[in-house]
Amino acid sequence: MPSSYKIRKLINPFVGDAFNPASVPELPAIRQVLARAFSGGEIEAFSLLVIDFECIITPAAFVAVATGHDPDDPDTSYVGPFYEASVIAALVGGGEVYIAETDETEKEIVGCAVWFGPGHSIYDSEAQRKYALSPFMERLSEEQREWWQLEFVPKFRELVKNNLGDGTKHNAWHLQTLGIDPAHRRKGLAKALMQDVIAKSTGVLKCLEFGTETSNLKIYQKIGWKQAEYSVDFNSRRGKCGMGVMTM
């Protein structure tokens, strides 16, 4: 990573049950950079929700389907808030958020990684459900909520169980979201955003999920991630998609 960039861990600013977005001044910029990362292609962009729909293989396509939007609609204003939910969940409940920013007088956030450590998972606490999951689900139609509950969740649990076993993921370090601004890719920022957790988690399993036809696997394989054997396919009114698991 060039010296013109720095990696910084965000400090959890919350005390008790009082989430206030204004207490996280970086949040609007994080939302914007994740929107750019997941709207413009998949290289150096990853998430639990990076899933590839047949010929539509950008992360934004899955977000469109998952939220009830048309994947061909040029308006992708819903993408940033979708991924922002994972950032909020991490800040209020057992996660860690790292940002990459330019080392300038007026710093610019150009990348973000969201991790959940052993003993924690996304949406496993009341605070996460209240401030991250519920606002997301409330934006969905009844049909979309049923898709999540009846199609995505059962098959995702099957994927995790068959690759990792019961309870293993909850006791591992899980890379939930990683996105780099397209204008700042191929500079080692994806690796840099993983380094702190990788360095402090020696001997502890690390895992992530990916779309089975995504082209960014080489990025993770070069760092040391290995693809697990079992994958699943999800069906929706928009098409078919697949998901697999990587571990380190």
**Nearest-angstrom CA–CA distance, 158 and 237:** 21
**Nearest-angstrom CA–CA distance, 114 and 90:** 7
**Nearest-angstrom CA–CA distance, 142 and 232:** 24
* Sole residue written with tokens 């990696």: 7
Q: Supply 22's token pair.
A: 């204004």
Q: Supply 71's token pair.
A: 């994947």
**Nearest-angstrom CA–CA distance, 175 and 86:** 11
CB half-sphere exposure, 87, CA atoms < 13 A:
29
pLDDT average, residue stretch 54-71:
58
Q: Supply 137's token pair.
A: 């689900």
The larger pLDDT score, comparing residue 62 to residue 208, is at 208
**Nearest-angstrom CA–CA distance, 83 and 85:** 5
Task: Confirm if 242 and 231 have CB atoms less than 8 A apart.
Answer: yes
Domain spans of the chain, in order of start: 5-247
pLDDT tens readout for residues 177-188: 888 998 998 899
In eight-state DSSP terms, residue 170 is G
CATH 3.40.630.30 fits 5-247, yes or no: yes
Is residue 41 pLDDT above 60, yes or no?
no
Q: Supply 164's token pair.
A: 């990792």
The residues facing 178 across adjacent strands are 46, 113
**Nearest-angstrom CA–CA distance, 217 and 246:** 9
What pLDDT sits at residue 16?
A: 57
**Nearest-angstrom CA–CA distance, 57 and 150:** 23
Please give the model's pTM, rounded to 2 decimal places.
Answer: 0.86
Q: Checking DSSP bridges between strand 206-211 and strand 173-180, what pairing results, if any? A: parallel
Give kind and range of the element (H or E) at residue 100: strand 95-102
The residues facing 235 across adjacent strands are 240
Task: Confirm if 126 and 89 have CB atoms less than 8 A apart.
Answer: no
What pLDDT sits at residue 39?
A: 75
* Sole residue written with tokens 């040029």: 74
pLDDT tens readout for residues 189-229: 989 999 999 999 988 888 887 765 555 677 778 888 888 88
Residue 72 is which amino acid?
A: D
Whole-angstrom Cα Rg for the chain: 17
pLDDT tens readout for residues 92-116: 888 999 999 998 778 899 999 999 9
**Nearest-angstrom CA–CA distance, 177 and 48:** 7
Phi, psi for 214 (deg, rounded to 5): -70, 150
> 173 falls in which pLDDT band (50, 70, 90)?
very high
What pLDDT sits at residue 82?
A: 83
pLDDT, averaged across the chain: 81
